[in-house]
Structure 1
């Protein structure tokens, strides 16, 4: 059975966008479950995800695969966001800000100690 069939584009189908990080898991699950799919390899912009063309009759299988594997997918009208990645970035920013504040406090404390020691001599 050919898995990447352009014929899907000419049947009743829908488009699903999958983030690049989920591409391998997405395609391997489809191959294991016998779901035909087609995607255009030469897409100008994949930041919104890779566009897959999928048969309408396979929608229940596809929904199950996406949900069970935690794959971030969206349609053309609803953009996909990986909130987990955004939380990781926000956590890094928060840790960096805390480290900078601690360093500034240490520098101020050292300056104050130096002033006190300098006046004592």
Structure 2
């Protein structure tokens, strides 16, 4: 089943949910600020995205700027930062059958349908 990691306060994330609804596909919404990622789950999603962990970071977030910016961090430390501070995670993320995209722009969702 298609999963969308969603933050309802985010316009792009709401657009991702609307896109999936318009396509008429079944999907599961995971509100990742409430249902927190585990280290393992986030690591798996990053692998499905086929990106480096740093590419999933929202670098303009105050949490990033005040706690992590300019520091030399391993991939594991970056993933742990996102687990500890899920607001740092770029959104929305859509996962389907072992593949994933960051749905920015929303049309990128087509890549995993």
Q: TM-score, normalised by structure 2?
A: 0.30
Indicate the structure whose relative CO is greater, using CA pairs within 8 Å and at least 6 residues apart: 2
Q: TM-score, normalised by structure 1?
A: 0.28
Indicate the structure (1 or 2) with the bigger Cα radius of gyration. Answer: 1
Q: Between Structure 1 and Structure 2, which shows a larger proportion of helix residues?
A: 1
